[in-house]
Amino acid sequence: MRITCPHCGPRDLIEFTVLGEARTRPAVAVEDLDSPAAVDAFAAYVYDRANPAGIHREHWFHGFGCQTWLVVTRDTLNHAVLAVADVREERP
């Protein structure tokens, strides 16, 4: 498998570490951090995974390259890599 890093070009899988689904950390006001809603939101953020058969947005780290976190959009059915972006550039 190869991932085309936006900074380094096409690179072999062994250079990367996958974290999992690219999710967005809940934004909670400081005064609400102990609210049940905050706990629910963080629990969903940490534990709930969509695990789709199909298109999946994932966080990957190019540790043996440019040290950049990437958003890799992949099809889990055929392993096709559809898009790769620096996480700071990419907005879903």
Partner 1 sequence: MSGFRLARGGLIDRSRPLSFRFDGRSLSGFAGDTLASALIANGVSTVGRSFKLHRPRGILGAGAEEPNALVELRSGDRREPNVKATVAELYDGLDASSQNRWPSLRFDLLAVNGLLKPVFAAGFYYKTFMWPAAFWEKVYEPLIRRAAGLGRASGLPDPDRYERVFAACDLLVVGGGPAGLMATLTAGRAGADVILVDEDHRPGGRLLADGVSAGGMDGPALAAQLVGEIRSLPNVRVLSRTTAAAAFDHGTFIAVERVADHLPLPQPEMPRQRVWEIVAERTVLATGASERPLVFADNDRPGVMLAGGVSQYVNRHAVSPGRRVVVATATDAGWATARDLVRAGVNVAAVVDARGSAPRGFEDVAAEVAVFPAARVDRTLGRGKVEAVAIAQAGGTVEVPADLVAVSGGFNPAIQLISHFGVRPTWEPAIGGFVIGGPVHGIHPAGAAAGRYDLAACLADGARAAVAALSEIGRTAAMPDLPSIEPGPHAAGTAFWKPGTLRPGRAFVDLQHDVTAADVDLAHREGYVSVEHLKRYTTLGMATDQGRTSNVDGLAIMAALRGLPIADAGVTLSRPPVVPLSIGAVAGARTGHHFRPTRLTPIHAWAEEQGAVFVDTGQWKRPQYFPRPGETSWLDTVNREVMAVRSGVGVTDVSTLGKIEIHGPDAAAFLDRVYANRPSRIPVGRSRYALMLREDGFVMDDGTVARFAEDRFAASVSTAHAAAVWRHMLFCQQVLWPDLDVSLAAVTDVWAQFAIAGPKSARVVAALVDDGDPVSRESFGPMTARELTVCGGISARLAAVSFSGERAFELAVPASAGDAVVRRIMRAGDEHGIVAYGTEAMAVMRIEKGHPAGAELNGQTTAHDLGFAKMLARDKDHVGRVLSQRPALNDPARPRLVGLKPVDPSTPLKGGAHVLPAGAAATADNDQGWVTSSAYSPTLASHIALALVTRGPERHGEVVQVWDGIRGSVVQATIAAPCHLDPEGERLHAG
Neighbouring residues of 92: CB distance < 8 A, sequence distance ≥ 6: 22, 24, 57, 71
Which residue number, 6 or 26, has a Cβ lying nearer to Zn ion? 6
Per partner kind, with CB cut-offs from 5 to 8 A, the member of Zn ion, partner 1, none near residue 18 is: none
Per CB under 5 A, the segment of 16-24, 39-47, 62-70, 83-91 that binds Zn ion is: 62-70
Which residue number, 35 or 52, has a Cβ lying nearer to partner 1? 35
Q: How far is the CB of 29 from partner 1 (least distance, A)?
A: 9
Task: Please check whether residue 20 is in contact with residue 47, taking contact to mean a CB–CB distance below 8 angstroms.
Answer: no
The region that residue 37 occupies, defined by phi over 0 for left and psi between -120 and 50 for alpha, beta otherwise, is alpha
